[in-house]
Homo-oligomer: A and B are copies of this chain.
Amino acid sequence: MTLETTLAAIGPADEPAMAAARDLQARLTKPAGSLGALEELSVRLAGLAGTCPPPLPEPASIAVFAGDHGVHAQGVSPWPQEVTAQMVANFVAGGAVINAFARQVGASLMVVDVGVKIPLHGGDTLLDANIRRGTRDFTVEPAMTVDEARAALEVGISVARALVDGGAKCLLTGDMGIANTTPAAALVAAFTGAEPVAVTGRGTGIDDETHAHKTAVIAGALATHAPDPKQPLATLAALGGLEHAALAGFILGAAERRVPVIIDGVIACSAAVVAAAFAPDAVAAMVAGHRSAEPGAAVALAHLGLTPLLDLGMRLGEGTGAALALPIVTGAVRVLHDVATFDSAGVSEK
């Protein structure tokens, strides 16, 4: 029942709080509109919190959800599948880019094994919530059963709830899973109606031939499963990954708790599209961290009506684009807390 409880608890943005934030922005000692995208972001976060100013998004917590993918057997990635588990070990040891960025921005980091093929042995920062040792190959059969997809969603919801109940004021999405851009592209195509060629990218680095093959694999899966975007759970089960499902739950959990969730790259964007299919009001909790170089990310963000904060040509995943965006989100909120008004500072208006 966790999923249904969460969906029922997600509501729209609070309009009076948004109006109060717009009014406050106009009285601060700066020309109107001169903070560009940060002003609208501060208004959205006031609407999410239901108060102005909204709380500072500190402390922030990154959760990296890891899983493996049956479709790897189709040769969609040049990387061996064991790299998923090796990179999880690297996260736990503190040696990956997301670890460096988490330290940089002062965010905590946890890793959730929701579907890694190789059994992992963990450390304090690794949560074992493994539902299945990798999905099935969706070119042959649904990647997950509906029950598996629901269980993964509920892992994400539970992680979000636990982090927020533990004090987190902002959640950041992370992912790891060799071949996981393939299910991400399939989900974006299924939920947005975009053509496979418009959402299929080069992931962590593939050549033209592999890219054409990957596009064909995704198109074939869409033809095989004929997903109905009005049936989000069945669509997610057919085409998704366990980390995609968990991330969708994580986003829904943030929306339920009315805490902002910074969306990373194409994996998180595909999960955000799934979350919005379950609960359209969940978009109010989403902040797009960056524009991934993966084409499916831009399609997903356009579908959600979100504009990313950063555009640095990154395509790493792990939560790296969300982490780099955190100080900007905090800055946008801090303006509402800290900056003097024309009246209070004795500054003349034009």
Contact = CB atoms under 8 A, between A and B. Distances in A.
Interface in A67-109: 77-80, 82-83, 86-87, 89-90, 93, 95-97, 99-101, 103-105
A235 interface: no
A298 to B, nearest CB: 14
Given A340-B93, A348-B79, A205 B86 contact: no
A315 interface: yes
Contact of A205 (B89, B324, B339, B350): B350
Given A90-B345, A350-B79, A314 B36 contact: yes
Contacts of A36: 293, 312-315
A311 interface: yes
Contact of A97 (B32, B205, B315, B339): B339
A37 interface: yes
A255 interface: no
A345 B95 contact: yes
Interface in A325-346: 327-328, 330-331, 334-335, 337-340, 344-346
B331 A104 contact: yes
A86 B101 CA distance: 38
A81 to B, nearest CB: 10
Contacts of A334: 100-101, 103-104
Contacts of A193: none
A345 B31 contact: no
11 contacts: A29-B95, A29-B97, A35-B312, A37-B314, A83-B348, A86-B348, A95-B338, A95-B340, A103-B338, A104-B327, A104-B334
Given A33-B205, A78-B350, 20 more contacts: A29-B95, A29-B96, A29-B97, A30-B316, A31-B315, A34-B316, A36-B315, A80-B348, A83-B347, A90-B345, A90-B347, A95-B339, A96-B339, A97-B335, A100-B335, A103-B334, A104-B331, A204-B350, A205-B350, A311-B311
